[in-house]
Amino acid sequence: MRPLSVSRRRSAVAFTWIALLAAGCSTVDSASTGDASARSASSGSEDSSGGGGSNGDALGATDASASDAGAPEGAAPSADATVDGSLAAKDSSAPESEVGADASGDDAGSAGDGGPVSHRFLNGFSDKGMLAIVNADGTHAWDYTIAQAEANDAWLLPNGDVVLSFIAGVREVTPAKQTVWQYMAPAGAEVHSVQPLPGALFLIGESHSDGTSFLYEMDKTATISHTVKVTLGGGAHAQFREVRKTPQGTYITSQLNGKAMEWDANGMLLNTYPCGSFVGIRLPDGNTLISCGDDHRLIEVNPQNAIVWQVGQNDIPGNTLFFVAGLQRLPNGNTVVCNWPGHAGGSTQPQVFEITRDKKVVWQVRDASLGWISNIEILDPAATFNGMPLR
């Protein structure tokens, strides 16, 4: 085990299933659904051209007010990572869009009522694409484009806003395209993860070029309440992808060029998983679902770290696994998989698919306009565990 150090500004926030349920994270029903000198936060409104009141209606936002703001001084990223977003309605007649089981032919499954499986979802991307909220019929309710090349984590909040990571930091935006708050990482650092926590906090994973990474729990003013420092080596881009706080109060980190690991609140290493290059998700039964990136597989392990279920590179006909990225476990036991093709030079395969426990495809996404999808949140009310998506 490599040496670790921990910095704490106040006691860690208790993280239990009860607290999560009270927080009401991401449901469609309720949503209208390092150094302090190197960190900064800003809040304010952006140019709303292409947005407007109809955008607010589409997501059911109730609060679109914010003061003017731009990129914070003293923490600007490099020129190729400037903050620039747009939010606009999508032409629903786009011919390249195929979303849902109907596009899957014989692979299509059925919903509980006997009809085809369909989902409303929010997606992020890596290298090519845009964030979007996509209706169950495949039409786009929202598009949100950014200048940065990656948005590897995005969540629909209960108030209708979207919080996302975008390499240079984290931002929350309203349906009317206003920035509520923004955190900018120090120049040269990368942020690929944000997770909403109880108590109006957010978990952010930030990696630095000196081989160190930080887990920050912060509020919307970028006031950090808890920090865990992890030193595993590698450049800023080779370290953290999505990081998650578990109901047990531990942290599961993923390492692009390494394995998923679990840490306690004091920064002690508790477990190293068999793989894990993008995300590790603690399930209600105590198992952990892990995406393994360029290992071309995803696994589920029990509390003893033994693999109890896995999907290999060629297990799914028509869906050869590339870099396995974002995952979501649904209450019916199905798993939604983001099959990111960037390291393979692209692909015409579905960007996302849903499989049953016996590895049958029941739903998939093939929409060229969304680009290379790296993460997804299924927004159906039935897709959550007591109001919380497992992703």
Assess whether pLDDT exceeds 90 at residue 195: yes
Residue 389 lies in a domain: no
334 touches 356 (CB < 8 A):
yes
If one counts the domains in the chain, the total is 1
Helices (H), 275-334: none
Query: pLDDT tens digit string along 353-391?
Result: 999 999 999 999 999 999 999 999 999 999 999 888 999
**What are the tokens at 116?**
């085809």
Residue 279 lies in a domain: yes
For residues 275-283, give the mean pLDDT: 97
Residue 114 lies in a domain: yes
Global pTM reads 0.77
Query: pLDDT tens digit string along 251-263?
Result: 999 998 899 999 9
Residue 306 lies in a domain: yes
Residue 390 lies in a domain: no
Residue 42, pLDDT score:
52
Residue 132, pLDDT score:
97
Residue 309 lies in a domain: yes
**What are the tokens at 121?**
């979802």
117 touches 157 (CB < 8 A):
no
Residue 53 vs residue 294, higher pLDDT: 294
CATH number, domain containing residue 25: 2.120.10.30
318 touches 361 (CB < 8 A):
yes
Q: In terms of residue numbers, what domain contains 303?
A: 5-383
Q: Compute the distance between CA of residue 175 and CA of residue 41 in angstroms, rounded to an integer.
A: 20
Residue 391 lies in a domain: no
Residue 284 lies in a domain: yes
Residue 12 pLDDT grade (very low, low, confident, very high; cuts 50, 70, 90): very low
For residues 199-222, give the mean pLDDT: 96
